[in-house]
Amino acid sequence: MPEQPIHRLLADVLASEPLPGGHHRLLLRAPAIVEQATPGQFLHIWCHPPDDIVHPPCAAILRRPYSISRLRPPDGVEVLLRVRGVGGRLLAAKSPGDKLDLLGPLGSGFRHHPSHKTVVLVAGGSGLAPVPFIVERFRSSGARVICLAGASSDEAVPFRVQRPRAGRATLPDIEALGAEVTFVSEAVEGLLITQVVELRLSEFGDDATGLLAIGPRAMLKRLHQVTGAHIPLQVSLEERMACGLGACRSCVVPVVAAVSSAGACSCQPDSSTPRLLDSSYLTVCRDGPVFDAADIAWELLDI
């Protein structure tokens, strides 16, 4: 399938809001992104003032990748970030009226097969940032969305945690989008989200169910182990990157077999002709960040 165009644009900051737990919300005016973005794609953002890109300061010389958290039509794109490191602090200091130089939408997002009537989304820690976009897009296609989310503590996620009754925690902001949400915190419930998935795995073995996951690599690897070859699993990998365009090869991950180019993995029915890249390594920024879990050489991946 043809690649999407990548836009470089100056986006107006429409809103800049601190959130609990050291998180921050930016709302940017980027109509070209709204028109074509898919869940799981990201923006590559220059953190300094746009004019400084000609003579970059040393503080944050590279752009920073941030998942698209939500679209706010007609022209708003929301990004949720955790304020840590120089780049995050620079972005959190932006005010409405400022401009940001960004590239996007980048990467390959999650695909939804029409036969999947139920989508199970497993998200851990900072992986919850793109959940609203994923939920809204798949709900709009008519799918039932089950969101299983977890973190080390309530403060580690960028959303409100609510415990309406003993033994059950949820994220009301995600429920409001139409998802069925279960949240567990290691600090409170004493559970990993992978344990919750294992307990409910018999519910998700149906051919009409799609399984998506985003979060720490250890979580993704465990999900791959427990689902095996019986349940197709798409995973979104995070990786440090420089160019964000697949040119510098700084974000490669090992794969076990030839997979499709231009961000198409074997889980996608519209994949182009498979090829093998650089001794079975693919880039997270261009070929991913979303891959078929069965294509990743987990034993070679740094966890």
Q: What is the pLDDT of residues 177-188, one digit of tens each?
A: 999 999 999 999
Give yes or no for residue 25 having a pLDDT over 80. yes
pTM, entire model: 0.89
pLDDT band at 258 (very low <50, low <70, confident <90, very high): low
Q: Supply the pLDDT for residue 269.
A: 40
Taking only the tens place, the pLDDT of each residue in 276-296 is 444 589 999 999 999 999 999
pLDDT at 262 over 50: no
Pick 251 or 167 by higher pLDDT. 251
Position 132 scores a pLDDT of: 98
CB-side exposure of 165: number of CA atoms within 13 Å?
0
Residue 196 has pLDDT above 60, yes or no: yes
Segment 128-152 shows an average pLDDT of 96
pLDDT at 60: 81
Average pLDDT, the chain: 89
Q: What is the mean pLDDT of residues 86-96?
A: 96
According to the model, what pLDDT value does residue 1 have?
47
Pairwise CA distance, residues 250 & 67, whole Å: 18
Nearest to 257 by CA among 212, 297, 222: 297
Mean pLDDT in residue range 205-220: 92
Inform me whether the pLDDT recorded for 272 exceeds 80.
no
Q: Which two tokens stand for residue 18?
A: 């601190």
What domains can be seen in the chain, in order of their start residue? 7-106 (2.40.30.10), 108-236 (3.40.50.80), 239-303 (no CATH)
- DSSP per residue, the chain: -PPPP-EEEEEEEEEEEEEGGGEEEEEEE-HHHHHH--TT-EEEE--S-GGGGSS--STT-S-EEEE--EEETTTEEEEEEE--HHHHHHHHT--TT-EEEEEEEESB-----TT-SEEEEEEEGGGGTTHHHHHHHHHHTT-EEEEEEEESSGGGSSS--EEEETTEEE-HHHHTTT-EEEEEETTTT---HHHHHHHTGGGG-STTEEEEEES-HHHHHHHHHHHTTTS-EEEE-----SSSSSSS-TTEEEBSS-EESTT--TT-TT---EE--TTTEEETTTT-BEEEGGGB-GGGS--
What pLDDT score was predicted for residue 273? 38
- What is the reported pLDDT for 228? 76
pLDDT at 231 over 90: no
